Amino acid sequence: MTLNPEKLAMVREKRPLEKQTALDGLPEEKRQRVPALASVIVDAVKMDSLQKLCSSLEPLLRRVVGEEVERALAKLAPSTLGQRSSPKRIQGPDDKNLRLQFRNKLALPLFTGGKVEGEQGSAIHVVLQDAETGQVVTVGPEASAKLEVVVLEGDFSIDEEEDWAQEDFEAHEVRERDGKRPLLTGDLSVTLKEGVGTLGELTFTDNSSWIRSRKFRLGVRIASGFCDNLRIREAKTDAFTVKDHRGELYKKHYPPALHDEVWRLDKIGKDGAFHKRLNHARIYTVEDFLRLVVMDPQKLRNILGNGMSNKMWEGTVEHAKTCVLSGKLHVYYADEKHSIGVIFNNIFQLMGLIADGQYVSVDSLSDSEKVYVDKLVKVAYENWENVVEYDGEALVGAKSYRLSGLNTHTEDPIGTQNLIGSNFLSGHSLSHSATSSQGPSMQRSFGGSGNSANSRYHAF
């Protein structure tokens, strides 16, 4: 249906009139409130949008302003700015390039709670060097400056021979994790003396597994308040891993030490079945273990039980045999005049014989002499409280040696091959009965199982 143009115009005129009539029926207060509420809503939307816009533009504006300021400064003082931004020039007295340098490497691995040391337990040294010549700078105020020790990220991998800016060094410093103790504790300052400094006791309190590279470095720098007008490049160590001390608690030792707890040996777990059985038999240390290997290996085998296979047994004994013995020697004298006696090392292995002040190795004895010595050794075991302990070097000039060298023969602690015949020994008699049933038999003491005397002189 088509509306007449005149009627359409009348309708349009009528609608505003109807709206006005409706508003005329409202109180004056409400007629003003309706447009005011709409205005508030619109204003709030506009304000929120404006704040969001400002927040997004702020970083951009800061960067633009910063770049413009830098351009202006570069035009005003290009030479000064150039010196500040270049990390390649490390100027010292007389235009020398100075740097700090670690003299030795760290002993690895490192564990939390453990002492940070140099290789082979040495002290860690840092020196002030002339970067051009490598010579230690021993004079001047910088040669007695104070240094600070810090922890660095392991990925601070700029080559030691290259230069870096102080800002690069500081950007790689590592702080402790939130809620943790200081990452590095101990003597965190070092004072140079004639260009050389020695680090004190340092300990890590946290492992390195939580940082990006999973490794740390130690770094040293000039302390604040020293050489402020002089750029001396910092020093850093190689990257290293710090493990939790719980790994150290269960670590085996290669080689083991005599005083190590017996669970440090292969195949014997800490607080495991073998460890408990050995402790119950009063075998607490590697030395205790080796002594029973020498004196009664079958007894030791029985203590460990069937749970230890022959292969495991051989591996444990071989590991124990790598232990470095001390220079202690034990002598049992057969008479009060000390004219004849048998010599044992500190794990009770027979080393030789002393007769009238002369040493004879067991390999130099004849079969008949070995029979006599067998009886004397048995008496010694039965009367061990009468054995006299000597320092090896004081007694025969012996030095420390490894058990592995005793597999096929017994070493001569003096290095001589003095031979004495049966007639010499026949003049000496035993001061104690050699037929006692107490103590380990000689066959068990030296690994023998037959009647051959030679099999009794090889402990392993």
Q: Which residue has the higher pLDDT, 398 or 260?
A: 260
Name the band, by pLDDT with cuts 50, 70 and 90, for residue 2: low
What six digits make up the tokens of 453?
């005397």
Parallel/antiparallel/unpaired status of strands 242-243 and 110-111: parallel
Name the band, by pLDDT with cuts 50, 70 and 90, for residue 123: very high
The pLDDT tens digits of the residues spanning 12-60 come to: 555 554 545 555 555 554 454 455 666 656 676 666 666 666 666 666 6
Answer whether residue 152 shows pLDDT above 80: yes
Q: What is the pLDDT of residue 37?
A: 60
Q: What is the pLDDT of residue 392?
A: 63
Q: What is the pLDDT of residue 121?
A: 82
Q: What is the pLDDT of residue 70?
A: 65
Count Cβ atoms within 10 A of the Cβ of residue 7 and give its class: 0-12 exposed, 13-18 middle, 19 or more buried: exposed
Q: What value does the mean pLDDT take over residues 194-211? A: 95
Answer whether residue 435 shows pLDDT above 60: no
Count Cβ atoms within 10 A of the Cβ of residue 361 and give its class: 0-12 exposed, 13-18 middle, 19 or more buried: buried
Q: What value does the mean pLDDT take over residues 208-218? A: 95
Answer whether residue 455 shows pLDDT above 50: no
Name the band, by pLDDT with cuts 50, 70 and 90, for residue 249: low
Please give the mean pLDDT across all residues of the chain: 76
Per DSSP, helices labelled H in 195-267 are 245-249
| Percent of the chain's residues with pLDDT above 90 | 40
Q: What is the pLDDT of residue 171?
A: 94
Q: What is the pLDDT of residue 81?
A: 39
The pLDDT tens digits of the residues spanning 66-88 come to: 666 666 666 564 444 344 444 44
Q: What is the pLDDT of residue 44?
A: 64
Q: What is the pLDDT of residue 368?
A: 85
Q: Which residue has the higher pLDDT, 3 or 437?
A: 3
Q: What is the pLDDT of residue 340?
A: 87
Answer whether residue 410 shows pLDDT above 80: no
CA 56 to chain centroid, in Å, comes to: 49
Q: How many CA atoms lie within 13 A of 256 on its CB side?
A: 26
Q: How far apart are CA 11 and CA 13, in angstroms?
A: 5
Q: What is the pLDDT of residue 325?
A: 85
Q: What value does the mean pLDDT take over residues 226-239? A: 93
- How far the first Cα of the chain sits from its last, in Å, is 122
Contacts from 228-232 at CB under 8 Å and sequence distance 24+?
230/91, 230/92, 230/93, 230/98, 230/142, 231/89, 231/90, 231/91, 231/92, 231/98, 231/166, 232/90, 232/92, 232/98, 232/99, 232/100, 232/128, 232/142, 232/145
The pLDDT tens digits of the residues spanning 290-333 come to: 999 998 999 999 999 999 999 999 999 999 999 888 778 889 99
Name the band, by pLDDT with cuts 50, 70 and 90, for residue 187: very high
Q: What is the pLDDT of residue 316?
A: 96
